[in-house]
Structure 1
């Protein structure tokens, strides 16, 4: 319950809730694949609520139509979910520390790296669509830091309004997560007692996080998420190597 509240608060205020929810599911005894699937189910209502809140700010992405991006997110989210279900427990245990590391680095350096690249690099819509396919699969499979990765990639197209990017990122991640959730539920990969407790507390935490974000500077919230995720990454590397 505490982890769900914490994850919902972080997702609403700065992002990075999965860095809390997945370790919490594992630490109470769920296998890592089940923990990942259950965490996605528990946090998806909050992401859907965020997508609804952003509904008036959607814009096209330099001529790339929203239905195309939605279709890519649906297909990628489904592919990522099926890939997770096909991954053996042992393989995912070995991959999890590296996934946490990728997500942590994306969260820590995605914004400054994206800003630096925008000054030197411009890419076409085809490259963005190809990257979106990969990121949508990643979102359905694990998803840590995927929103930051999307915005960094889109920024390479040229100048895009940050509010429009945030709105688009939220809805595309939500779509990928939603189709992954459907896949996990149908496959019976969700452990419901922990999931329902975390789901309810994450909704409450999401409301609290929205209020917290108005009072605490963004750099403080992001710094805390980076520190916490770095500690969790180190813990899971230690568990894997032990």
Structure 2
């Protein structure tokens, strides 16, 4: 019973974090490992359990999802789905240890880019005498790589998305948060299909159900909370989450 309660609470926290600024994996994954699941199984189970929460958050934001750069929303979503499926396949056939070692550094890089991305974009534009904007093809290529990362590991993939769009397109983290949530759901959804078919996630139905219920509640409540925050406060919350998750993950490693 205590394990189910821990999984439920971790799901609530992870769903809420993903809705507000990202980093839910850094709550869900350690909780499942602490319960006793092998790291790869815990990684896969957390991804499956967090899908409904991401979908619930995307539903709350459905009327506020805007286009990113010159890439259409439909095309961007298709690329996220494809990348998530490829990354999930890699998780099932490769060791996650090397990626787990690199994850804190990727998160630290993403946090710095997220904090300085728009300013960096303006500095580069001033130095070059023109705006620095990624082409639609570059946006989609980067999104595919992020989708692979999300399917393989998942930690802070939403933060990395915001950092990529901020540095490459000069977009504000608060205004692109709805699209981040929609793409997070797309990446997790494709990975989930593969995990359900090829991993041992279904051997732990009670833990999966508890975390799934928690993620839906947290994702729905977190999205409503994020919508009510002023853009400056939401931007600060997203950056704070990124910094805290970076520090915690370095301490964990």
**Do they fold alike, i.e. is TM over 0.5?**
yes
Query: Residue in 2 aligned with 1:95?
Result: 99
Contact 1:19–1:100 under 8 Å retained in 2: no
TM-score, reference length from structure 1: 0.82
Deviations 1:163-198 (A, max 9, x none): 652222221221111010010001133132222111
Q: Please, which runs of 5 or more residues in structure 1 have no aligned partner?
A: 238-242
Report whether the alignment pairs 1:204 with 2:217: yes
RMSD: 2.7
Q: For residues 105 and 24 of structure 1, what CA distance do their matches in structure 2 show? A: 25
Query: Residue in 2 aligned with 1:113?
Result: 116
Query: Residue in 1 aligned with 2:82?
Result: 75
Which of 148, 153, 166 aligns to 1:142? It is 153
Q: For residues 69 and 99 of structure 2, what CA distance do their matches in structure 1 show? A: 35
Deviations 1:72-130 (A, max 9, x none): 11211110000000123xxx245324324423542x32322312222114332222222
Query: Residue in 1 aligned with 2:129?
Result: none
Report whether the alignment pairs 1:124 with 2:124: no
Q: Please, which runs of 5 or more residues in structure 2 have no aligned partner?
A: 1-7, 125-131
Query: Residue in 1 aligned with 2:43?
Result: 36
Secondary structure of 1:56's match? coil
Contact 2:90–2:152 under 8 Å retained in 1: yes
Assess, with a 3 A threshold, how the Cα gap between structure 1 residues 231 and 59 changes in structure 2: closer, same or farther. closer
Report whether the alignment pairs 1:166 with 2:169: no
Deviations 1:130-150 (A, max 9, x none): 211111111111122222222
Assess, with a 3 A threshold, how the Cα gap between structure 1 residues 68 and 221 changes in structure 2: closer, same or farther. closer
- How many residue pairs match? The answer is 232
Contact 2:87–2:149 under 8 Å retained in 1: yes
